[in-house]
Amino acid sequence: MQPLYGKLSDIFGRKNTILSAIFFFLVGSLVCGAAPNITVLIIGRGIAGLGAGGMISLTMIIISDVVSLRDRGKYQGIIGSMFGISAVIGPLLGGVLAEKSSWRWAFYINLPIGVVSTIAIFFILRLPKVKGTHREKLKRIDFLGSLTIVIGIICVLLSTNWGGSEYKWGSVQVVVPYCVGAVFLAAFLYIEAKIAVEPIMPFRLFRNQSVCATYATSFFIGGAFMGAIFFCPLYFQMVMHSSATKAGLQLLPLVAGMMVGGIGNGILISKTGRYRPYIWVAMVIYVAGIALLSLWDETSGIGVQVGFLLVVGLGLGGTMQSVVLAAQCAVVNSDIATVTSMVSFFRSMGGVASVAIGGSLINNVLSNHGLTNSRGEGTGQDDFALVYAHPEIYAMATQTVFRQCIVWPALGLLSSFFIQHHELRKKLAVEEMEGAKVENSADTTPQIAKDPVSASAPLSTVEESK
């Protein structure tokens, strides 16, 4: 739903859209907390995810409205650091609540935080209102495109999640959803190209080299990020025999690295007005950090664990929001919401793909050593007691996962070389739009329709690489 939120924020306004996203997140959290069975819990997670996806991308979109491009790097670095902290602290807090109280409080705790956020946004956030009646705004929504992409992605994610775990990769349960997903995604592409009046994924943006490069880079960044966040705690629990709470605490060096990398990179970008060199340096650090993780085994000490995670955090923090800034620099103000939400979307998709691949690799290694309960098709139900007694084998499995994770930031580094440099403008988006209105009102000459390709070009000129 992240691509849709970008377009909805253009139609209904940023403030109304993010308040709606928070509302869905809180409703979903309430449903999860009160769920009497697994079916209701899954439904609640879906509703909460519907809101969470919008909250992530809309935060960056709102930052782009209130902060100039030149200063945006440091603010987005701070926001990105908060995202990294929450990705680690959230599971840690959930583990503590599950051990000391009830798992339901892992969802209920969202409610007071969400209420405070809603009140703060409602009374403090001041943004221009979007003109037009509700009927006019509803006509602008790409309902058909939104429906097809949601169904298509759900089918693909289900197959990817089931493959090698619940069912064999060649089974009907895996192949059929992939085929259905492919049909709906193909329909989505046709709708966006030929039918939608205001598509949620404008094809003209794919003609922009920097935009495509940031989409690809974000996809690969997300793959390595989720691989580390998901499989590092499993390593701590199954290999080092840490509790769920301690496993979460052992990820704190990653958080520290993300804060230093994100805020430091943002400050450097704001001071120098350049972002590509810092993206490249951070990506190299990111590759090195993931490669170091692949050296972990059952004898790795606390110093090795802390040091390696710190390197990963430095690289990740320096790349995540810098790539968002690069995408925003490459388009006109009217496309910033769309391109920001799409960068978040591709990062999420990379994470989902990486976790699915990593899970299959772990299952394969454990199965080869007789540590999984196999009935001719993967069940995903490992005999944890048996695995727990053989930490060296699980360490071998996680090494396999982290080795494939090296490919993700390496490809991200390669993709980032195609990002072009654009001037970091010092004016706010609102100020530029007001200036354009004044200029247009003073010009009485009939205007010629702009070419779609030209419309996607940035306001600033492309500088030659030095």
In a domain, 433, yes or no: no
Q: Whole-angstrom Cα distance, residue 453 to residue 202?
A: 11
Q: Six-digit token pair at 318?
A: 């320096």
Same domain, 186 and 314: no
Of 346, 340, 319, 341, give the one whose Cα is nearest residue 328: 340
> Does 153 lie in the same domain as 298?
no
Confidence of residue 436 (pLDDT cuts 50, 70, 90): very low
- Residue 85: what pLDDT? 73
Q: Which residues contact 49 (CB under 8 A, 6 or more apart)?
A: 28
State the residue range of the domain holding 399: 2-142+197-416
Rama region for 380: left / alpha / beta (φ>0; ψ in -120 to 50; rest): left
Q: Are residues 202 and 154 in the same domain?
A: no
User: What does the alpha-carbon distance between residue 426 and residue 64 come to, in Å, rounded to a whole number?
Assistant: 12
* Cα 336 to Cα 10: distance, rounded to the nearest angstrom: 10
**pLDDT at 281 exceeding the cut of 90:** yes
Are 102 and 212 contained in the same domain? Answer: yes
Confidence at 420, pLDDT banded by 50, 70, 90: very high
pLDDT of residue 440: 44
Last residue of a domain, one of 374, 397, 416: 416
Residue 216 has pLDDT above 90, yes or no: yes
pLDDT score for 431? 53
Do 133 and 165 lie in one domain? The reply is: no
212 and 229 part of one domain: yes
pLDDT (mean) for 287-305: 92
Cα separation, 20 vs 18, whole angstroms: 5
| pLDDT at site 179 | 94
| Average pLDDT, rounded, for the chain | 82
Q: Give dist(CA 14, CA 337) in Å, integer.
A: 9
Same domain, 125 and 152: no
Confidence of residue 457 (pLDDT cuts 50, 70, 90): very low
Placement of tokens 């920097």 in the chain: 210
Contacts of 35 (CB under 8 A, 6+ apart): 41, 44
pLDDT tier for residue 84 given thresholds of 50, 70 and 90? low
Which letter does DSSP use for residue 244 in this model? H
337 within some domain: yes
- Give the end of a domain, one of 398, 416, 434: 416
pLDDT at 425: 65
pLDDT tens digit sequence for 98-133: 777 788 888 999 999 999 999 999 999 888 888 888
Contact 141, 8 (CB under 8 A): yes
Q: Say if residues 283 and 319 touch (Cβ distance below 8 Å).
A: yes
Number of residues in the chain? 466
Domain count, the chain: 2
Q: Is the pLDDT of residue 383 over 80?
A: no
**pLDDT value for 187:** 94
User: What CATH number corresponds to the domain at position 300?
Assistant: 1.20.1250.20
First-to-last alpha carbon distance for the chain, in angstroms, is 39
The answer to the question of residue 453 being in a domain is no
Span 321-337, pLDDT tens digits: 899 999 999 998 888 88
Q: Are 321 and 193 contacting, i.e. CB atoms less than 8 angstroms apart? A: no
For residue 456, what pLDDT band results from cuts at 50, 70 and 90? very low
Same domain assignment for residues 111 and 234 = yes
For residue 446, pLDDT beyond 50? no
Q: Using CA of residue 184, residue 169, residue 174, residue 379, what is the dihedral sign?
A: negative
pLDDT attached to residue 451 = 39
Judgement on whether residues 162 and 203 belong to the same structural domain of the protein? no
Please indicate, yes or no, whether residues 187 and 172 belong to a single structural domain of this protein.
yes
Residue 356 and residue 385 share a domain: yes
Same domain, 397 and 385: yes
Distance, CA of 165 to CA of 188 (rounded, Å)? 29
Region for residue 196 given its phi and psi (left: phi exceeds 0; alpha: psi -120 to 50; beta: otherwise): beta
